[in-house]
């Protein structure tokens, strides 16, 4: 079976910026605290009534198709990794497909900040089946829709954005290996309680239960441990030494988590791709937005290692030949 190679990348972020200085006016925080604890300087926010994650995803996918000179009709499968779908149901992927004039099989995948790498592994297996030739994976999240902008513990961390890749069969390049895990015992430490077990009620709303919640300290520890151990497994299984890796593409949740992961992998700073200062944590979109920002640096055949950790918990690492 052939590998799934990334043949095009695109990203899209809204124009409106929410800077650390803007946040100083909303909550009791400071640019110094946010920068030193997280590495984030600003995030993008999607404004406008009735604009949801599909707006972000559609813009990214349209830019992708234009770049790849590909029509929506040519796509065999579209997977949208998101934790902030437009609606309870239907899937945001269906809305994206309508916009690009595609009737392809399409669905969302929910794996929080690991959604994009989960979706890449799924797309790769569809391509290996031989029945799917052109697959789009888009990671998109409108995190501002689940933020409580009076909670300084969380609102400083997240932003809105989308990134998309086109995957096609290849003999030489593409996704070589994946290590992916989940552990539902993390469910109380990081979540958004909107769903069938948590129906909206006036009390739910009054207590701000419908917003994003996280126990930052506990999540931080799990993230550092699990991202590094998944990356170590990928390196060991594929006999990759630090010097064989061209770049680490980490999920962008916190600069300190990224630094700790790189350190465990014995990678120099110049081989770690970071853009958290510009966008904050865009959940499903961080990894494709990094690819979009850094693709000019990558050479054909470069060994890239991806690593992510998110709500669930979910986590993992991928090895991809660019
Ligand atoms: N400004 C100023 N002070 C603040 C702020 C703020 N924005 N936020 C918290 N503080 C205070 C706290 O109240 C606390 O004060 P106290 O000691 O008086 O109680 C103090 O700063 C220290 O807080 P900590 O929580 O210990 O700060 P920490 O260094 O752990 O950083 C952070 C917090 C940035 C949230 C970090 O824990 C983190 O990044 N956690 C992991 C996030 C992550 O990876 N999430 C997973 C992906 S998300 C997903 O899947 C959708």
| Model pLDDT for residues 273-285, shown as the tens digit of each residue | 999 999 999 999 9
Could you tell me if residue 239 is left (phi over 0), alpha (psi between -120 and 50 degrees) or otherwise beta? left
Contacts of 194 (CB under 8 A, 6+ apart): 146, 200, 210
Q: Where are the domains of the chain?
A: 3-172, 176-321
* 35-52 tens-digit pLDDT: 999 999 999 999 998 899
| Topology, domain 176-321 | Peroxisomal Thiolase; Chain A, domain 1 (3.40.47)
Minimum-distance ligand 1 atom for the alpha carbon of 312: 50
Please give the C-alpha separations between residue 4 and each of 7, 67, 296, in angstroms, as whole numbers: 9, 18, 20
pLDDT of residue 49: 82
pLDDT of residue 243: 96
How many whole angstroms separate alpha carbon 270 and alpha carbon 207?
44
| H-assigned helices in the chain | 20-26, 31-38, 53-67, 92-99, 115-128, 202-206, 216-237, 255-264, 276-279, 286-294
Kindly tell me if the per-residue pLDDT of 89 is higher than 90: yes
Indicate if ligand 1 lies below 6 Å from the C-beta of 225.
no
State the distance from the centre of ligand 1 to the C-alpha of 316, rounded, in angstroms.
Answer: 23
- The half-sphere exposure of 219 on its side-chain side, counting CA atoms within 13 A, is 23
Contacts of 120 (CB under 8 A, 6+ apart): 4, 137, 165, 167, 175, 178, 306, 318, 320
Range 86-111 burial, b when 16+ CB lie within 10 A, else e: beeeebbbbbbbeebebebebebbbb
Q: Which of 28, 147, 220 to mutate to test the pocket of ligand 1 (most atoms within 8 A of CB)?
A: 220
Q: Which of 217, 224, 258, 282 to mutate to test the pocket of ligand 1 (most atoms within 8 A of CB)?
A: 217
Mean pLDDT of the chain: 97
pLDDT of residue 200: 87
pLDDT of residue 321: 98
Indicate if ligand 1 lies below 6 Å from the C-beta of 220.
yes
Q: Can 251 be counted among the known catalytic residues? A: yes
The pTM (predicted TM-score) of the whole model is 0.96
Q: Are strands 247-250 and 303-310 parallel, antiparallel or unpaired?
A: parallel
How many whole angstroms separate alpha carbon 285 and alpha carbon 298?
19
How many whole angstroms separate alpha carbon 112 and alpha carbon 123?
17
How many whole angstroms separate alpha carbon 187 and alpha carbon 184?
5
Indicate if ligand 1 lies below 6 Å from the C-beta of 219.
yes
Indicate if ligand 1 lies below 6 Å from the C-beta of 29.
yes
pLDDT of residue 16: 97
- In this structure, the dihedral spanned by the alpha carbons of residues 198, 158, 47 and 22, taken in order and rounded to 10 degrees, is 120
> 313: cis peptide before it, omega within 30°?
yes
Indicate if ligand 1 lies below 6 Å from the C-beta of 222.
no
**CA nearest ligand 1 atom 15, residue:** 153
pLDDT of residue 50: 85
**CA nearest ligand 1 atom 27, residue:** 217
State the distance from the centre of ligand 1 to the C-alpha of 264, rounded, in angstroms.
Answer: 22
With residue 169 as reference, give the H or E element that holds it.
strand 160-170
**CA nearest ligand 1 atom 13, residue:** 153
- The half-sphere exposure of 82 on its side-chain side, counting CA atoms within 13 A, is 38
Please give the C-alpha separations between residue 313 and each of 139, 202, 244, 289, in angstroms, as whole numbers: 18, 29, 29, 22
Task: Give, to the nearest 10 degrees, the angle between helix 255-264 and helix 31-38.
Answer: 20
Q: Can 281 be counted among the known catalytic residues? A: yes
What would the mean pLDDT of 298-319 be, rounded to a whole number?
98
pLDDT of residue 106: 98
Kindly tell me if the per-residue pLDDT of 1 is higher than 90: no
| Topology, domain 3-172 | Peroxisomal Thiolase; Chain A, domain 1 (3.40.47)
* 155-190 tens-digit pLDDT: 999 999 999 999 999 999 999 999 999 999 999 999
Same fold, 3-172 and 176-321: yes
Indicate if ligand 1 lies below 6 Å from the C-beta of 156.
yes
How many whole angstroms separate alpha carbon 270 and alpha carbon 277?
16
Q: How confident is residue 82, by pLDDT bands cut at 50, 70 and 90?
A: very high
* 109-157 tens-digit pLDDT: 999 999 999 999 999 999 999 999 999 999 999 999 999 999 999 999 9
């Amino acid at each position: 079976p052939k590998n799934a190679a990334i043949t095009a990348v695109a990203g899209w972020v809204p124009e409106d910026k929410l800077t650390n200085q803007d946040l100083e006016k909303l909550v009791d925080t400071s640019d110094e605290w946010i920068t030193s604890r997280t590495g984030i300087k600003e995030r993008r926010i999607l404004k406008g009534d009735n604009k949801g994650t599909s707006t972000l995803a559609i813009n990214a996918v349209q830019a992708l198709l234009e770049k790849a000179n590909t029509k929506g009709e040519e796509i065999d499968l579209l997977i949208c990794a998101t934790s902030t779908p437009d609606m309870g149901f239907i899937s945001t992927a269906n809305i994206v497909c309508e916009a690009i004039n595609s009737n392809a099989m399409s669905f969302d995948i929910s794996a929080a900040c690991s959604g994009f790498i989960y979706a890449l592994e799924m797309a790769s297996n569809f391509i290996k089946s031989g029945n799917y030739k052109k697959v789009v994976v888009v990671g998109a999240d409108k995190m501002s829709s689940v933020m409580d902008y009076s909670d300084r513990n969380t609102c400083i961390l997240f932003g809105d954005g989308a990134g998309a890749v086109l995957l096609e069969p290849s003999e030489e390049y593409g996704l070589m290996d994946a290590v992916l895990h989940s552990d539902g015992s993390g469910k109380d430490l990081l979540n958004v309680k909107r769903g069938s077990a948590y129906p909206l009620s006036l009390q739910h709303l009054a207590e701000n239960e419908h917003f994003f919640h996280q126990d930052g300290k506990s999540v931080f520890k799990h993230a550092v441990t699990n991202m590094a151990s998944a990356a170590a497994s990928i390196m060991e299984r594929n006999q990759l030494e630090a010097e064989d890796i061209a770049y680490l593409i980490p999920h962008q949740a916190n600069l300190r988590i990224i630094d700790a992961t790189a350190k465990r992998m014995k990678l120099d700073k110049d081989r770690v791709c970071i853009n958290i200062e510009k966008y904050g944590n865009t959940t499903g979109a961080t990894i494709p937005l990094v690819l979009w920002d850094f693709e000019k640096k990558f050479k054909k055949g470069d060994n890239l290692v991806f690593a992510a950790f998110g709500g669930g918990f979910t986590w993992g690492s991928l090895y991809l030949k660019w």
